[in-house]
């Protein structure tokens, strides 16, 4: 062995929830050399066990591991997700859909939605949702995978999954163990730091066993055992922008056909999710405890299930925000240990995935060059902040003023970065961005329009584009979307044919 070789030889992952096993699986796939990977988890402590709705990039994470989609859905009681239906968000008795994919297809250099805004100003009442293939399919309970041919309207939508988070962790555990990851069962009771460098030397298990490594990945969930309890990295609290801090969660029996979308229903002090899985329906009421008691929140949840509950509701607490550094010394926080922004747009599993991708792109050696660490933190902060702004948008542009929570969020001050985007949309209906964003123009458009944040006018260029027959184009898109959806199987049928779970 070369004495000067400074490569990482041993990685310890603390925690075996989705974060721990997604990290283990990706490392096992990508580090096939001399690096030993060990994962420590405690069955006694368990996992948070929620995290059942995802966004489209998870497909590429699974694909990068070589996982077959149908096999994965079969083993996780999974279903397909074409977007989120928001109920009572902009105002009461109102619904809109945040679809995956675009609205129709642009037919000019001016984006389609400006032509739609003009048509609307002239009395056309066709909702924007009707130009979304994802919505039209979801509202008819239909699903098939999109095509890749950009000439076809079937290429204009995208999809993600709903699945049982516990089964996903198990699935990835099997994948990782086959590829050489070792697992230690037990509770970490102490973390020892090097007196000089402050780096983590080893963790100490309940039975006294010391587990040393060059690099530690903190996947210990909200406990943040290494990154916070041991390294005292600090936390940036975002509760003033994202005030929800609790959730009551419960599964209920599945009733009826499987719909291919998540539903989020605004409640007086928060909102409630409904996630359809093959064997059950996941439900949770996310709320701010300043405005409702835990008992009342649980009662609201239980009164709004569409099947028989399978257990008593379970209470989870959290603080929205992020770790001041995601990578500190020889420790990287992946998953809830790094921060949490509430589950409204199902972004937490994505942040695990992108954290892993960034880590592999900036894979360190035992020198832990501060330049590498700085870049990892810079990119991660940027991603967290862009997602944070998108989630805040759902709250701050509400027209609801009927309860304390909705009055608070409608009047709170918001980040300048978000105000800038809102201002642009309000003036000319334009969607601007200062750099790469996970949520792209159609996502922002869905929420602006869905919540009634109307622009003062559409893009003035539209009126100059006299050669564009927008009326005919819009009508044509509307028609071909409906025709294409009519040829799709129902979501239920697609699952029965391709990825039905046992039982
Ligand atoms: C209410 C709610 C709803 C959510 N909904 C979604 C959603 O729809 N979509 C989405 O993408 N994300 C969602 N999330 C987030 C998602 O659940 C998490 O990102 C994901 O489950 C990863 O969690 P984790 O692995 O970081 O933590 P956990 O699942 O909590 O795992 C922590 C691990 O650390 C171990 N551990 C802790 N302490 C010790 C110790 N002392 N010794 C040994 N082991 C220890 C535990 O045993 C466990 O294995 C939601 C979160 C909440 C709170």
- Rounded average pLDDT over 103-117: 96
Among protein residues, the one with the nearest Cα to ligand 1's atom 50 is 51
Sheet strands (E) in 154-296: 160-162, 182-185, 188-193, 200-205, 210-212, 215-218, 235-237, 246-252, 262-267, 270-276, 281-287
41 lines ligand 1 (CB under 6 A): yes
Instruction: Indicate the top mutation candidate among 46, 47, 169, 355 to test ligand 1's pocket, ranked by most ligand atoms within 8 A of CB.
Output: 47
For the chain, what is the mean pLDDT?
97
- Catalytic residue positions? 81
Closest ligand 1 atom, residue 273 Cα: 8
- Rounded average pLDDT over 474-501: 97
Per-residue pLDDT, 1: 54
Per-residue pLDDT, 32: 78
Q: What counts of helices (H) and strands (E) characterise the chain?
A: 15, 21
Closest ligand 1 atom, residue 352 Cα: 19
Homologous superfamily of 53-161+246-317+393-503:
FAD/NAD(P)-binding domain (3.50.50.60)
Domain map (residue ranges) of the chain: 10-46+164-235+324-368, 53-161+246-317+393-503
Express each pLDDT in 28-46 by its tens digit: 999 977 899 999 999 999 9
Instruction: Indicate the top mutation candidate among 51, 285, 313 to test ligand 1's pocket, ranked by most ligand atoms within 8 A of CB.
Output: 51
Give dist(CA 169, CA 173) in Å, integer.
6
Per-residue pLDDT, 34: 80
Distance 16 CA to ligand 1 centre (A): 9
Torsion angle (degrees, nearest 10) of CA 98, 102, 105, 111:
80
SS3 content of the chain, % helix, strand, coil (to 5): 35, 20, 45
Among protein residues, the one with the nearest Cα to ligand 1's atom 12 is 51
Per-residue pLDDT, 258: 95
144 lines ligand 1 (CB under 6 A): no
pLDDT at residue 218 greater than cutoff 80? yes
pLDDT at residue 73 greater than cutoff 60? yes
Express each pLDDT in 169-196 by its tens digit: 999 999 999 999 999 999 999 999 999 9
Per-residue pLDDT, 33: 74
**CATH topology match: 10-46+164-235+324-368 vs 53-161+246-317+393-503:** yes
Taken in order 375, 378, 381, 385, the sign of the CA dihedral is negative
- Rounded average pLDDT over 476-483: 97
Q: What is the CA radius of gyration of the chain?
A: 24
CATH number of 10-46+164-235+324-368: 3.50.50.60
Per-residue pLDDT, 188: 98
- Rounded average pLDDT over 245-272: 97
Per-residue pLDDT, 470: 97
Express each pLDDT in 292-348 by its tens digit: 999 999 999 999 999 999 999 999 999 999 999 999 999 999 999 999 999 999 999
pTM, whole model, 2 decimals?
Answer: 0.97
Grade residue 151 by pLDDT with cuts at 50, 70 and 90: very high
Closest ligand 1 atom, residue 188 Cα: 42
């Amino acid at each position: 062995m070369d004495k000067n070789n400074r490569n990482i030889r041993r990685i310890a992952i603390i925690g075996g929830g989705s974060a721990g096993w997604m990290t283990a699986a990706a490392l096992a796939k990508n580090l096939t050399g001399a690096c030993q990977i060990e994962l420590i988890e405690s069955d006694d402590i368990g996992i948070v066990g929620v995290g059942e709705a995802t966004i489209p990039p998870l497909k590429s994470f699974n694909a990068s591991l070589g996982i077959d989609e149908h096999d994965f859905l079969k083993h996780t009681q999974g279903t397909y997700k074409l977007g989120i239906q928001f109920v009572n968000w902009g105002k009461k008795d109102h619904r809109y859909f945040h679809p995956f994919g675009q609205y129709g297809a642009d037919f000019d250099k001016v984006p389609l939605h400006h032509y739609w805004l003009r048509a609307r100003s002239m009395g056309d009442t066709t909702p924007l949702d009707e130009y979304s293939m994802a919505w039209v399919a979801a509202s008819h309970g239909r699903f098939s995978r999109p095509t890749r041919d950009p000439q076809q309207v079937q290429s204009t939508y995208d999809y993600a999954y709903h699945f049982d988070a516990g089964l996903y962790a198990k699935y990835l555990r099997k994948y990782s163990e086959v590829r050489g990851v070792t697992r230690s069962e037990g509770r970490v009771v102490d973390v020892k730091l090097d007196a000089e460098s402050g780096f983590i030397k080893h963790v100490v298990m309940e039975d006294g066993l010391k587990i040393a490594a060059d690099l530690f990945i903190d996947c210990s969930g909200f406990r943040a055992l290494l990154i916070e309890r041991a390294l005292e990295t600090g936390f940036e609290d975002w509760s003033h922008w994202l005030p929800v801090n609790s959730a009551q969660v419960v599964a209920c029996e599945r009733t009826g056909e499987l719909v291919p979308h998540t539903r989020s229903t605004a409640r007086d002090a928060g909102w409630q999710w409904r996630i359809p899985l093959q064997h059950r329906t996941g439900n949770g009421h996310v709320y701010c405890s300043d405005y409702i008691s835990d008992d009342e929140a649980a009662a609201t949840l239980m009164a709004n299930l569409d099947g028989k509950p399978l257990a008593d509701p379970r209470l989870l607490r959290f603080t929205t925000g992020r770790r001041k550094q995601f990578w500190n010394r020889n420790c990287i926080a992946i998953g809830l240990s790094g921060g949490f922004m509430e589950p409204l747009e199902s972004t937490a599993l994505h942040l695990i995935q992108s954290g892993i991708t960034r880590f592999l792109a900036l894979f360190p050696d035992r020198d832990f060059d501060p330049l590498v660490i700085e870049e990892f933190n810079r990119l991660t902060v940027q991603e967290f902040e862009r997602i944070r702004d998108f989630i805040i948008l759902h709250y701050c542009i509400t027209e609801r003023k009927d309860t304390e929570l909705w009055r608070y969020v409608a009047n709170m001050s918001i980040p300048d970065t978000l105000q800038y985007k809102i201002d642009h949309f309000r003036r000319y209906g334009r969607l601007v961005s200062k750099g790469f964003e996970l949520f792209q123009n159609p996502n922002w458009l869905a929420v602006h329009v869905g919540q009634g944040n109307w622009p003062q006018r559409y893009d003035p260029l539209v009126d100059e584009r006299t050669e564009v027959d927008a009326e005919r184009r819009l009508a044509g898109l509307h028609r071909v979307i409906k025709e294409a959806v009519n040829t799709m199987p129902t979501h239920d049928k697609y699952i029965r044919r391709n990825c039905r779970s046992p039982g």
